[in-house]
Each structure stands twice: as C-alpha cells, then as structure tokens.
Chains A and B, each alone.
Chain A
Amino acid sequence: MKKRGIGIGSIFYGTGYGNGFPDVSKAVAQLKSDGKIAIYVGATEVGQGAKTALSQIAAEVLGLSVDDIVFINEDTSITPDSGTAAASRQTYNTGNAIKLACEKLKRDILEVAKDYLGLNSIVGLTLKNGYVYPKTLPEKRVSLGEISESLESSLKEEAVFTAQTTEMDEETGQGAPYWPYTFSACGVEVEVDTETGRVEIIRAVLAQDVGRAINPELIEGQIDGGFAMGAGYALYEDLKIEKGKIKNNSFTNYLIPTSLDMPDIEKVIIEDPESTAPYGAKGIGEPVMIPVAPAILNAIYDAVGVRMTEIPVTPEKLLKAIKEKEMTYNEGKN
C-alpha cells in the first residue's frame, strides 16, 4: 500500500568560525589601466558562486556591471587572506571586506575625477557605468580609463573586515558565539510504499531567509542542491563503517541522489536585511540543506506513524519499523 504524509522542519544557523575566534577577511580593489576594476581576495570558488556574488557587490559599490569586474582569487602570492570558503561566511565576511575596499577606492576615484574635471568638491559626484560626473551636469564627465591613464601609479585600496563574535563562558556556555544567524524551513510530502519500505518525495517547499538576495538564481541553485544533499542524508547515505573500514567506498554502493530522486522544489526567498551585512546579505550555503532531512522524517511519521530516530531511513529499516508497529498494534487489539 502507498501512504502519503506531510512534514516540516525549521532551523537556525550561525554564520562563521564563531566563539570569539578571529574571523577576518581581507580584500584589495584596484583600478586597472583599462578602466576595469580588479578585486583580489583569497575566497575560493567551490561552485557556490562566490566569484559571481562577490563581483556583484563590487559592481554595486562602483556603479559598474559585473563584466567590468576582474575577479582574482586563485593564487596566494597575489591575493590577501580572506579566510576559508566554509561556515557560509564568504558572502558576509569577504563580501563586507570587498564592499569596504570598493568604497575606499570609489572615494579615491572621485578625488582624482574632481581634479581632472576641475571641480571644487566631490559632493554630488556620480560614478556610474564607468564614468564620473556631477549628477547635475552629466555631460561633464571622465571615464575610469581616462582617470587611470592620468595617474602614474594605479589606485588601489585594501580593506579588512572582522566579524563580531564572543567567546562563550566555559561553565555555562553563555555568550554570543555566532553572527549573523540565518533561518530556514522546509516542507515535504512523501509517499511510503509499505510493501517495500521505499520513500518517494512527491512535493517540496523550502523557504530560505537570505537577509537580502544578491543573486536569486544562485540562491535557488543552492536550495536545490542543499535539498538533494539533505534528502540523501535522510534516506540513502551511510558509509557502512565496520571495524574502522569504510565498506561503501564507491558510487556503486555509496548512493547519492540522482535526477530521478529529486522532486521539483518550490523555492521561496525570504528577505529581511541584516544591517551589518553587505547590502543586508547573509550566507546560505549550509542552512539550505539543514531543514530537509528532519522535514522528511516528520513526513514519514505522518505517512506511516513510525518515528525513525536513526538515519538513513533505508527501505529495510523502515519496513522493519512498520512491521514492529503493526505487531504492537495487533497485540493491542487482541
């Protein structure tokens, strides 16, 4: 028999290294000779979209398009240390460092433009689409390329961002260990085959707090990917370690979700900007995954009335639990 059930899960997640450990990101912004802006950071692109999202922050500050940002993050000899690409911290930490560096660079650019254009002040100067001009007189303008050519050495600024966390009390655990916190909730509908113990995910919704969305497409991609990893955690993945040896050490026996295991997901981006974050944006790489497995477990209970306290919920485990429940039920009837 096939039985359906619905479940939800909700979570919070604290960004960063935490507990007072110095969480530092550095960034360098430089005006290149062709008028483009180079950003140097040690933040790794692991596929999460750091290069794109962080370029968007630089582009926003400097009124440019992302095509005018040259993002360099592959070589330790020319990039500053921006911390690890983990703990969902790059958007918040390195994003803040880039924003600060670009704001400083922008000020430098406006100062040079002021002299170049023979103005008295940088007040009311606009930097947009590669030109600097008084906002009341757009025709009087100079391009970033012209500014760069007029200088003997290139304009370059470095900025450091250090996140605020405190060390917790050793005896009571009291303190402010992480900041900011990010929230999310997931809802799923599953169908359990009570003959085979197989669980199929029929529908799914995930609502993710992002502070502010820098790139909704990237966020949606993270939500889909986090859902898949969460579903694998709930239903399939187990290294089967026996006497310290991993039995499932290949994709033949260590199963991760395939395209056939994934439902389409209704993705809801919740914005509530965080004032200490770059344009309000919080990191979401981890939180997108976290509420998925508990939502599936609660949906399984809703479908067949068994609490699965040990994951993954393999068909064998679930069948056994359903049988045990039926036996208890029948005993109760007799």
Chain B
Amino acid sequence: MRLNSIGKKIIRVDGLSKVKGKALYPQDIYMEGMLYGKTLRSSRPHAYINIDTSRAEKIDGVVKVFTYKDVPGKNCHGVLFKDHEVFCSERVRRVGDPIAFVVATNKKAVEEAIEVIDVNYEDIEAVFDPLEAMKEESVKIHGNSNIIYHYKLRKGDVEEAFKRCHVIVESEYKTPMVEHAFLQPEAGIAYTEDDGTIVVCASTQYPHFDQIEVAEALEVNKDKVKIINPAVGGAFGGREDITLQIHLAIAAKVTGRPVKAVYSREESFLAHSKRHSMIMRYKTGCNKDGKLLAMEAEIIGDTGAYASWAINVLRKAGVHATGPYEIPNVKVDSYAVYTNNPFAGAMRGFGATQVPIAHEQQMDMLSEKLNMDPVTFRLKNIFKKGSKTATGQVLEESVPIDRCIKEVADRIGITPLSERGGVV
C-alpha cells in the first residue's frame, strides 16, 4: 500500500496555538459579569451530615449556596452505577465528597462563605482495608455488600496441572492508589444561551456522556445542554467521571449568570478518581522445559467509596492476569470492593497496568529457578498467531510480541543469568 499521509511525522495540528500560549483551557475563559464558585467537601470519611448554609448566605457578595435541595433533577451521577450524589444529601462516604457549592460575585466572598457553612458530622464506622470490607460483618458503603463485582476465569484444571509442574512460584503483590496528576487542574465555566440552552465549558474525556449526566441532573432535554470541550491539559482517565460540570450547570441555570470555578491542585487531588490499589496473590508453575502449565490468581481491587469503572477495571485486570503468555490451565478471581477510601476509576491501563507488576516478576522468578534467562523463558510461552488467550479468544493476526521482546532484549543486552555470576 502506498500511503501519502499515514506514517508521516506530521506536525501536530493543535501545536501552534499551544506553543504560542494561545490554546484556551477552561480557566482561560473570562466572561462579562461572571460569578465564582467553590465546592465545600467532606472532611470525614464516613458520616451522616446536617448542613446549615444560613451564615454563608448572609456574606456580602454571596449569591447562593447550592446543596442537594437545589438539584432540579436527579441528584446522582456515575459512569456505570449512579452511586455518586451531585451533592451529598444525608451521608458522606469519603473525604472529599461534595456537600455544597458557593457562588459569589468575588473570590474573597466565596472563600469566606465556605468557611462558615456549618456541617454537623455524625461519624459512622468506616472501613479502609478492602480485605476487611469484603467480610460479611463489615460496615457497608452502599447496599448489602461491599463486593460489587467478582470476575471468574476458568480454563482447564489448575489443581491437577500444578501437580505436574516442575517449578512453582507463589507471591503476593501490592500496588497503591495513584494520581493522574495531569498538569491542568479541573476548571470550567457555564452559562445560559438566549434560547435557554445550558452551556458547560470544561475539560472532559467524554463530552457526549457529560451532556447526558448534566441533562439528567437539570431535568432538561439533552438537546438543551451543550458541552464545550476546549483545550484539555492531560487526562489519563481522570476526566472520565463528572467533577464540576453539574455544579456549574445548576449554578448557571439558577443564577442566570456565567459561573466559573477553578480547582486548586489540592482540590484536584480530592475531586477525581484514582488508580485502583490492588492486592494480587499469584501462583504460577511450569514444566522442566520452561513451558507454563498453570496459573492461579486472586486479585482484589479497592474502588473506594464509589464504583466509577471498578467493574470494567477488575474485569480487565482478570482478563490480562496471565500476561501475554499461553497457559493451558488458568484460574482467576478478581474482585472490586467498596471502602471509604478515595474513589478509584479509570487510569491509563485500566487494571491491565497492575497485573504485570505480578505476572512479570513471576516469569522472572520461574526462569531463575530453571536457570534459564528471562528472554528465552518468555519466548517459549508468548502468544503467537493462532494462540488462544485464557478466555479462549483466538489471536489470529497482528501478534508481534515476539518481535517486541527480541528487539528489547537485543538492545538492552540480556545475558543469560547463568553467565552473569553472583549478585549481592
């Protein structure tokens, strides 16, 4: 195929405005007569709340303090389950849950008002350890169980296969919750057009989904909501869930004026999802020749106080638990669990980033026990054209993992362990 444009190092089309400093991110938009908004967030991980905004409303410059009572439509949102409240009504489930949104004519009034909103917290027992949260007797975050998902992968007979293994390695791995840390903190501005359309201008990964969620909270037809997505300063999964879009839309609709909010870095850390922390227990075995025979894994992912993409993330972790290797006998159980930690959701790799921390160390441990170098060991087991994954999916084209490994091994210079001599 002769191609003219594909394969060319074409200069990025949004590059010029960015090097000139002209690219507009939501915080760069200023409108005539705009109001400023700021969110009051929970300082407790699990509590019943009572809110009194009367002192805040009296502050000079404050236009309105919005709470759950001011949500015209559904007081909920969420990419999969609608388990987030736009503003918490009775209960907070994590530090950082939004409780109120102050709107004022100037930033100083906003800051002052936030300080004098009275929130009476009545603490509830909280659970932070996903293993504790999985127990029957644990306090529940939503509904009857904290286990919101269990993915089961069954292929062959692992028990029988482990008996045939020459070498078996077993270990437990732990990965932390981490932060997207995109450079542009969340910001947005919302306003009403002459025909009543609510416009929300905010950085998001999925404007058409935000449109639906904003419309449901406003109880208006989706055609009456317009999402403008200007320059986005990085995302990495952290702009999948709603943060300030609905707050701004409600405020703009009620006040009839443009409303702008810009999160500080600290608030950005509080407002959006995190990467799921995971506990991964792995057992992997191979025969004398280094052929993988069996793998068993239990993966527990902490999704914190809200589901966000937990089900999909733990599913993706489960499906990718083997790594790019053919293993005839596989048993995987992955679980997504609610706790009172910050909520976890999408982040680059989406569950498939955590499991290689485990499976790739397992591969090296096996190869070392066999006195085989890690490259040779991998090449014996990797997917090829025609391989079946653990879920029974046939990889029938574009499977160049052998080339990837060989290129890397060649350039980094892997010498077989046996030739390298003692370490430490």
Is A–B contact present in the complex under a CB 8 A cutoff? yes
Q: Does B276 contact A (CB under 8 A)?
A: no
Q: Which residue of B lies closest to A165 (CB)?
A: B393
Q: Does B163 contact A (CB under 8 A)?
A: no
Given the known interface contacts A187-B408, A208-B404, the answer about A241 and B378 at a Cβ–Cβ threshold of 8 Å is: no
Q: Does B171 contact A (CB under 8 A)?
A: yes
Q: Which residue of B lies closest to A10 (CB)?
A: B405
Contacts of B6 in A (CB 8 A): 56-57, 60, 212-214, 279, 281
Contacts of B235 in A (CB 8 A): 44, 46-47, 85-86
- From A59, A85, A229, A286, contact of B5 by CB (8 A): A59
Q: How far is the CA of A273 from the CA of B390 in the complex (A)?
A: 23
> Which parts of A46-103 form the interface with B (CB within 8 Å)?
46-47, 49, 51-52, 55-57, 59-60, 63-66, 71, 73-77, 79, 81-87
Q: Is the CB of A168 within 8 A of B229?
A: no
Q: Does A318 contact B (CB under 8 A)?
A: no
Q: Is the CB of A243 within 8 A of B391?
A: no
Q: How far is the CA of A66 from the CA of B16 in the complex (A)?
A: 14
Q: Which residue of B lies closest to A66 (CB)?
A: B10
Contacts of A155 in B (CB 8 A): none
Q: Does A334 contact B (CB under 8 A)?
A: no
Given the known interface contacts A13-B349, A60-B4, A84-B240, the answer about A249 and B266 at a Cβ–Cβ threshold of 8 Å is: yes
- From B95, B207, B240, B399, contact of A245 by CB (8 A): B95
CB distance from B341 to the nearest CB of A (A): 5
- From B155, B229, B340, B414, contact of A172 by CB (8 A): B155
Q: Is the CB of A275 within 8 A of B383?
A: no
The SS class assigned to the B binding surface is loop
Q: How far is the CA of A295 from the CA of B323 in the complex (A)?
A: 13
Q: Is the CB of B401 within 8 A of A10?
A: yes
CB distance from A74 to the nearest CB of B (A): 5
Contacts of B175 in A (CB 8 A): 233, 310-311
Interface bin, chain B = 35 or more
Q: Does A163 contact B (CB under 8 A)?
A: no
CB distance from A12 to the nearest CB of B (A): 4
Contacts of A178 in B (CB 8 A): 316, 319
Q: Does B220 contact A (CB under 8 A)?
A: no
Q: How far is the CA of A212 from the CA of B8 in the complex (A)?
A: 11
> Which parts of B88-129 form the interface with A (CB within 8 Å)?
94-96, 126, 128
Q: Mark A216-241, 1 if CB is under 8 A from B, else 0.
A: 11100000001001001100011101
Q: How far is the CA of A91 from the CA of B346 in the complex (A)?
A: 18
- From B172, B269, B391, B400, contact of A254 by CB (8 A): B269
Contacts of A18 in B (CB 8 A): 312, 315-316, 319
Q: Mark B149-168, 1 if CB is under 8 A from A, else 0.
A: 00111110000000000000
Given the known interface contacts A52-B14, A76-B207, the answer about A274 and B397 at a Cβ–Cβ threshold of 8 Å is: yes
Q: Is the CB of A237 within 8 A of B178?
A: yes
Interface 9-residue window, one of B58-66, B252-260, B357-365:
B357-365
Q: Which residue of B lies closest to A67 (CB)?
A: B13
Q: Does B21 contact A (CB under 8 A)?
A: no
Contacts of B412 in A (CB 8 A): 6, 8, 187-189, 203-205
Contacts of A52 in B (CB 8 A): 10-14
Q: Mark B228-262, 1 if CB is under 8 A from A, else 0.
A: 11111111110110000000000000000000000
Q: Does A105 contact B (CB under 8 A)?
A: no
Contacts of B96 in A (CB 8 A): 246
Q: Mark A4-44, 1 if CB is under 8 A from B, else 0.
A: 01111111111001110000000000000000000000101
Q: Does B403 contact A (CB under 8 A)?
A: yes
Counting from the closest, the 3 A-B pairs by CB-CB distance are A187-B412, A244-B45, A294-B360
8 residue pairs of the A-B complex, CB under 8 angstroms, read: A10-B323, A44-B235, A84-B206, A84-B209, A175-B391, A178-B319, A270-B404, A272-B399
